[in-house]
Structure 1
Amino acid sequence: MKITAGITLCVTSIALRVASAWPDAPGFNSAGLVSSSDLPKVQMPAFRKDTLTISTFGAVADGLTMNTSAINKAVEQCNRAGGGVVLIPSGLWLTGPIALKNNVNLHLATGALVQFTNKRTEYPLVHTTWEGEEAVRNQAPISGTDLENIAITGNGILDGAGDAWRMVKKSKLTADQWKKLVASGGVVNDKQDAWYPSEQSLKGAMTTIKAGQTPAYYEEIKDFLRPNMLSFTRCKRILLEGITFQNSPAWCLHPLLCENITLRNVTAKNPWYAQNGDGLDLESCKNGLVEGCTFDVGDDGICIKSGRDEQGRKRGVPTENIVVRNCRVYHAHGGFVIGSEMSGGVRNLYVSNCVFMGTDVGLRFKTTRGRGGVVENIFVDGVDMTDIAGEAILFDMYYAAKDPVPQQGESNELPVIPAQPLSESTPQFKSFQIRNVRCKGAETAILIRGLPEMAVKDILIENAVLQSRKGFVCIEADNIRLKNVALISPAKTLMHIQNSHNLTLDNIRYTDSTDLLMHIAGDRSKDIKLLNTNMSHAKKTVETTTEVTANVLTMK
């Protein structure tokens, strides 16, 4: 009950600030503004005190004995008895996949290390999902489907043996690391730029995998079909607390179509080079709290999803009513991320008091044509960042499934792309409130990049101090407001605006070394306001291309 009260307090304070600071904002009027009756209320699981210890069922903590049967028997017995706690004591416990059951709290004592086996044959193929679409994959090390009242708690560690599953790009290792990896076994592809743990894994990478095939088809590429470490599907009242989840084969924590999920003081760790090594992926989930958690992973840190393309739209279940607060993200492609699989929609998210250190991107919102879906009513208040390799704040509707920071020799520049007709597959980003953000070191402070047929809309960024190499880039956007924003950048041109309209730039602060304050391009750029800004620090205030109308900019 205390947790619910905490969520209500947190979200109410943000909602009140939104109402007072931007009362006329589209989507936040008296009919649409989040009120106390709309706030998420996360229901917590509750368990009987009865405790079963896995050693009672024959489990042995020697790192050699396979304890799969003993652990699952303990879980099943606890479930049959009406629920309670299954205790994993201190020690090294080797096991295959664990299937959780209703009303069971799997509790790892301090000093407990559960090591999932690296023998891929121990993980049977199952019907599940992969990156937002139906798929056949290996069974997750920890899984549960259609469950209620479940938990994994304690101060122990769960290790997913991910090194036995993952391919590794040569470009992400030093020469000595690559040499050691190749010598350890496995195979290298023809280009000699990627290592795979087995011939079967390499075959899978070279195969265009089709759905609805025979079991024999998937068996031939089984090693390639990496599981997510924790997979909960259609479960209700979930608690993950205190545990360290590490070394996942793919995504680390993946609740799908779940309700009332709480993550408290959880740590997710993957090697920085871990392909698809996300920390947390909440997909089509409702009512959640993520607080006090730490992520240090190989892909996105805290990620919000809701299915991919046509299947995601057909499912039509958004991720909604999620609070993320007091979390830390170290290495990751993005600190807090939405997308790119967001075809079922995302709404009513509240992020506060988070720290991102060394992530490729800080706040990363990504999608692409074909996804569809609407992302709206996103509130961010209080994010501190250091050493961001790419953008501090990114809205990108041209996501291309590449690393956010280009490898040597690569480019992330877009080709010229014409507008396409609007359809159900056109994605939308709108109604974001981002406040009190500080960043010390990034490539770009803010990049907003919409589609010619669908602008990024209704964005407020207020009270920000962003130190970066490049300043503000805004392409195909509508109703963007920057208020009290410091762009601390050595860039000769501070702000680039292209085919964007209804922009308000209020009290923009910048360095004396700026040559050009604003460059405006595109025949659809209009209604740009520069307010309460000292223009004397720049050698020149504005420069426009020939197709821009003469009255595009108003200065006061």
Structure 2
Amino acid sequence: MKTTAIALCLSLICGSTFAQNAASQQQKTDTTLLFGSTRVTLPKVAEPVFRKDTLSIIDFGAVSDGNTLNTKSINDAILQANKRGGGVVLIPRGIWLTGPVELKSNVNLHIASGALLLFTKDFDQYKMVETNWEGLTAVRNQSPISGVDLENIAITGKGVVDGNGDAWRMVKKDKLSEGQWQKLIASGGIVNEEKRTWYPSESSLKGASLKNGGVIAAGKTLNDYQEIKDFLRPNLMVLTRCKKVLIDGPTFQNSAAWNLHPLMCEDVTVRNVIARNPWYAQNGDGIDVESCKNVLIENSVFDVGDDGICIKSGRDEQGRKRGMPTENLIVNNCTVYAAHGGFVIGSEMSGGARNICVSNCTFMGTDIGLRFKTTRGRGGLVENIYVKNITMKDIVGEAILFDMYYAAVDPIKLPGEKRTAPKTELLPVTEATPQFRNFYIENVVCNGAEKAIFVRGLPEMNIKNISLNNITIKAKTGIELIEAQEISLNNLNISTNSANTLTTITNSSNIMFNKLSCNKLITLLFAVEGERSSNICVTNTDTSVAKSVSSFSNGADKKSLKLK
């Protein structure tokens, strides 16, 4: 990890003196970061180094007319560079149509400014491979850019990588205008029986109708999935079990599914990257860091159709068996526009996530700002998450959300969509019970959201030990805590459009409010619900902003709330 990145993170959280000391020691050893009473060791992220030898794809027969398929030329250049001990493979200015590109160790694929690496719409060019999809072993089409078990690799330059994802993706009618929908139907493809979703082909529709389509079943081979090939959309870039990875400079856009997917990699640096997808792009995530160790993401922009910056570690039993958390990760100075979530952990986090620092980020127009999601069956432990200096504007849903009832649906309901609240029931704790604990979030400003803060744990496994400090949010509604423990909220200023209840607390305990304020006279300051609500302490708070200070329902004891 670059010294400056660690020093910056330390100065944000721990103070400048400690940061300077850590920076001076970084060249010698790992760095121990102190966050409150928690110590986290972050090893230095190693970056690749390349020979200066440069090979141009033109010398291998590539033609930049946008029509000639250059798959062989590009892969031959990469293979030759690898055989010569490494170096740079140059994709110069021009439009370069190609099929899948396979990276090799010690090679820097440099996409020059003005270069467009355009992946073909011809699905026959993408062979079926065994890979990973949403945390499970699955069959997919080969990714446009891929690499397995490589070391010392990079994709650099200011060019553009385009996955031609519109040829692959299904599209929901409710995400388009009527004119866009009619144009899409006229282009070909097929609409499902409900007339609500367009698919590019019968094969794609058939795959969508199957439960867990593409997930490898016992006794099945790749050929058994040929009839749903069109449904098995590839992620634009997948790097699996690679070490010393650098992604610096390019724009990655129009992916068929996820955009950037480092999987089980170590020492990954992503900087100065733009990831773009149409906002309606199904599964159109920006970057999904899955089961990776030692990662730096900085100075990058995401404007996509699903989660922006997302942390994962496998799904359910397979993820727990893999047992590889995403750990030792810094996200700094990134901007997220359209996305389901700005910074996200989950929901496929069965291997866990820990030691993650997010700072100096801006989210504008995302569905949710900070989004932490999981559900029963995942298992996994997410802990030691540190977030600071976050700016948000026009958040469609919640500014800050913790939810252990993730239901694999868009965070914002589409027009006419009906949803039912999850059934609350106490179940036994097993290895499949997920855990969220030890989150430290401070210095957040949000101008516009539907709800300020939402925390919802499970009855058998509450969300625990969340610290929220110096939070200013303008939202339609305020704070809701459900099945939560040891939540500290200090110096919160919530400006709401609603004159109703500012804070609702349900079956939660050890909740500490200090310096809670709001912008106007409201009806009720605290609504306490449930017989398991206890030890809610409020200090340094002006209760005159509410017509009524508190109400108690569904078995809540009046003694559970203490005003000091």
Name the SS for the 2:246 alignment partner: strand
Identify which of 224, 231, 248 aligns with 1:224: 231
Aligned length in residues? 544
Cα pair 2:470 2:491 within 8 Å, conserved: yes
* Aligned equivalents of 2:558, 2:202: Cα separation in 1: 63
Partner of 1:178: 181
Cα pair 2:64 2:97 within 8 Å, conserved: yes
Partner of 1:101: 104
* Aligned equivalents of 2:419, 2:365: Cα separation in 1: 20
Instruction: For residues 55-80 of structure 1, give each alpha carbon's deviation from its aligned partner in whole angstroms, at most 9, with x where no partner exists.
Output: 00000000010000000000000000
Aligned-pair distance for 1:40? 3.4
Q: 1:412 to 1:14 in 2, by over 3 A?
A: farther
Partner of 1:25: none
Name the SS for the 1:62 alignment partner: coil
* Aligned equivalents of 1:292, 1:40: Cα separation in 2: 21
Aligned-pair distance for 1:16? 2.6
Partner of 2:265: 258
Map 1:12-51; keep pairs closer than 5 Å: 12-14=10-12, 16=14, 33-34=38-39, 38-51=41-54
Map 1:276-425; keep pairs closer than 5 Å: 276-411=283-418, 414-425=421-432
Which one is further off, 442-451 or 510-519?
510-519
Identify which of 511, 530, 534 aligns with 2:538: 530
* Aligned equivalents of 2:36, 2:357: Cα separation in 1: 19
Partner of 1:519: 527
* Aligned equivalents of 2:325, 2:290: Cα separation in 1: 8
Identify which of 544, 549, 563 aligns with 1:541: 549
Aligned-pair distance for 1:412? 5.0
Aligned-pair distance for 1:34? 1.7
Identify which of 9, 27, 30 aligns with 1:11: 9
Partner of 1:153: 156
Cα pair 2:13 2:35 within 8 Å, conserved: no
Which one is further off, 146-155 or 484-493?
484-493
* Aligned equivalents of 1:30, 1:261: Cα separation in 2: 23
Letter in 1 for 2:7: L
1:203 aligns with 2:170: no
Letter in 2 for 1:517: L
Cα pair 1:14 1:379 within 8 Å, conserved: no
Aligned-pair distance for 1:191? 1.1
Name the SS for the 1:34 alignment partner: strand
* Aligned equivalents of 1:404, 1:30: Cα separation in 2: 31
* Aligned equivalents of 1:29, 1:45: Cα separation in 2: 28
Cα pair 1:346 1:375 within 8 Å, conserved: yes
Name the SS for the 2:522 alignment partner: coil
Instruction: For residues 156-197 of structure 1, give each alpha carbon's deviation from its aligned partner in whole angstroms, at most 9, with x where no partner exists.
Output: 000000011000011111111010001001111111111111
Q: 1:546 to 1:97 in 2, by over 3 A?
A: closer
Which one is further off, 386-395 or 7-16?
7-16
Give unpaired runs (5+ residues) of structure 1: 21-27
Name the SS for the 1:76 alignment partner: helix
1:493 aligns with 2:501: yes
Aligned-pair distance for 1:207? 2.0
Cα pair 1:15 1:34 within 8 Å, conserved: no
* Aligned equivalents of 2:80, 2:368: Cα separation in 1: 46
Q: 1:31 to 1:170 in 2, by over 3 A?
A: closer
Letter in 1 for 2:503: M
Q: 1:416 to 1:206 in 2, by over 3 A?
A: closer
Cα pair 1:52 1:74 within 8 Å, conserved: yes
Name the SS for the 1:221 alignment partner: helix
Partner of 2:138: 135
Aligned-pair distance for 1:511? 2.1
Q: 1:254 to 1:199 in 2, by over 3 A?
A: same
Cα pair 2:332 2:360 within 8 Å, conserved: yes
Instruction: For residues 321-370 of structure 1, give each alpha carbon's deviation from its aligned partner in whole angstroms, at most 9, with x where no partner exists.
Output: 00000000000000000000000000000000000000000000000000
Aligned-pair distance for 1:460? 0.4
Which one is further off, 535-544 or 204-213?
204-213
Instruction: For residues 477-506 of structure 1, give each alpha carbon's deviation from its aligned partner in whole angstroms, at most 9, with x where no partner exists.
Output: 000011001011122110000000000010
Cα pair 2:442 2:471 within 8 Å, conserved: yes
Name the SS for the 1:388 alignment partner: coil
Aligned-pair distance for 1:407? 1.3
Aligned-pair distance for 1:216? 3.0
Aligned-pair distance for 1:410? 3.0
Letter in 2 for 1:4: K
Q: 1:380 to 1:416 in 2, by over 3 A?
A: same
Aligned-pair distance for 1:413? 5.0
Aligned-pair distance for 1:546? 5.2
Letter in 2 for 1:46: V
Identify which of 193, 196, 209 aligns with 1:193: 196
Q: 1:311 to 1:496 in 2, by over 3 A?
A: same
Question: What is the CA RMSD across the aligned residues, in angstroms?
Answer: 1.6
Letter in 1 for 2:51: R
Letter in 1 for 2:182: K
Q: 1:546 to 1:228 in 2, by over 3 A?
A: closer
* Aligned equivalents of 2:553, 2:222: Cα separation in 1: 59
Partner of 2:21: none
Q: 1:381 to 1:52 in 2, by over 3 A?
A: same
Letter in 2 for 1:13: S
* Aligned equivalents of 2:323, 2:222: Cα separation in 1: 29
Percent identical among aligned pairs is 57
Instruction: For residues 195-232 of structure 1, give each alpha carbon's deviation from its aligned partner in whole angstroms, at most 9, with x where no partner exists.
Output: 11111111111123352423332111101000000000
Name the SS for the 1:384 alignment partner: strand
TM-score, with length taken from structure 2: 0.94
* Aligned equivalents of 1:171, 1:460: Cα separation in 2: 38
Identify which of 422, 434, 444 aligns with 1:427: 434
Cα pair 1:11 1:39 within 8 Å, conserved: no
